[in-house]
Amino acid sequence: MRTFLTLLLLSLFCTSASAQSSVEEFRLGGTARILNDECIRLTPDMPFASGSAWYEKAIDLNQPFEITVCLVLGKNDEMGADGIGFIFHPIMRTGYRGEGMGFAGLVPSLGIEFDTYQNYYLGDPPEDHVAININGQIHHAASITGPTPVKNLEDGNKHLLWINWDPIEKQLLVVLDGVERANLKANIVAELFGGNSTVFWGVTAATGRKTNFQDICIKKLTFAEAEVQPAVDFGGRK
């Protein structure tokens, strides 16, 4: 696990470091648009918007990966929704939007959600929260980690996110703003993806009647691309 000093240094990433990967390496869907050389706006501040950004190449989960990005979840607090999700799925396909945040309905899949709106019937806590769900199940009764409440994310600021997968320890770690928010110990290749280590990863966001602009800014991506790249059907979405 990263030391506190390392996390402190990472906390400077959102303001002091330039992107080490290009937004041009992502396939955009829905309302997603490139803002600059490191940031993608997934949704504008408008009702019923949804956007996705998928990394163009599949990765190999038998190798470690590390994702360092900054999230911006808008400025609307009480009137803001819905959040951002990180998705791992064997096909470059986006699930149900809105409260599903592009993750719902995808099987097999792993989704890390940064939820800014309380849907009572999904078991959401009143606070903004982080959770890990599998196989497109969005009710928190099915969450394998969380939901973990966090401080308000809808403050217009960049929030540093670090996601790390260690295939030796079988550990998925999620650190937001220098604080560990999720720590999953599981053999996700065998137990979730049926032994298939080749997956795509992407990030999605959605709004409903309540809205926010929602951005992702790429800082550092470290992973091994799969040796055999599956055919891509980016047009397929639920």
Judge whether 53 lies within some domain: yes
Q: Contact at 8 Å (CB) between 16 and 10? A: no
Give pLDDT, residue 234: 61
The reported pTM is 0.91
Judge whether 236 lies within some domain: no
Each residue's pLDDT tens digit, 55-64: 999 999 999 9
Number of domains observed in the structure of the chain: 1
- In angstroms, the Cα distances linking 146 to 4, 131, 142, 162, 183 are 22, 4, 10, 17, 10
The dihedral sign for the CA sequence 129, 49, 133, 203: negative
Question: The domain that contains 139 carries what CATH number?
Answer: 2.60.120.200
Contacts of 111 (CB under 8 A, 6+ apart): 85, 86, 87, 88, 101, 103, 132, 133, 134, 136
Judge whether 100 lies within some domain: yes
Average pLDDT, integer, range 145-166? 97
Q: Contact at 8 Å (CB) between 102 and 87? A: yes
pLDDT over 70 for what percent of the chain? 89
Judge whether 80 lies within some domain: yes
The count of C-alpha atoms lying within 13 angstroms of the C-alpha of 128, restricted to the half-sphere facing its C-beta, is: 21
Average pLDDT, integer, range 211-237? 85
pLDDT band at 16 (very low <50, low <70, confident <90, very high): low
Judge whether 227 lies within some domain: no
H or E element: which one contains 180? Answer: strand 179-185
**Distance linking the first and last C-alpha atoms of the chain:** 37
Judge whether 228 lies within some domain: no
Mean pLDDT of the chain: 89
pLDDT band at 103 (very low <50, low <70, confident <90, very high): confident
pLDDT band at 98 (very low <50, low <70, confident <90, very high): confident
Tokens coding 24: 């041009």
Average pLDDT, integer, range 93-110? 83
Tell me how far apart the alpha carbons of residues 24 and 30 are, in angstroms, rounded to a whole number: 16
Judge whether 94 lies within some domain: yes
Each residue's pLDDT tens digit, 160-219: 999 999 999 999 999 999 999 999 999 999 999 999 999 999 999 999 899 999 999 999
* Domain membership of residue 163 as a residue range: 4-222
Q: Contact at 8 Å (CB) between 137 and 106? A: no
2 pLDDT more than 50: no
Each residue's pLDDT tens digit, 125-135: 999 999 999 99
Tell me how far apart the alpha carbons of residues 31 and 134 are, in angstroms, rounded to a whole number: 25
CA dihedral 53, 92, 85, 96 (to 10 degrees): 110
Judge whether 238 lies within some domain: no
Give pLDDT, residue 1: 42
6 pLDDT more than 60: no
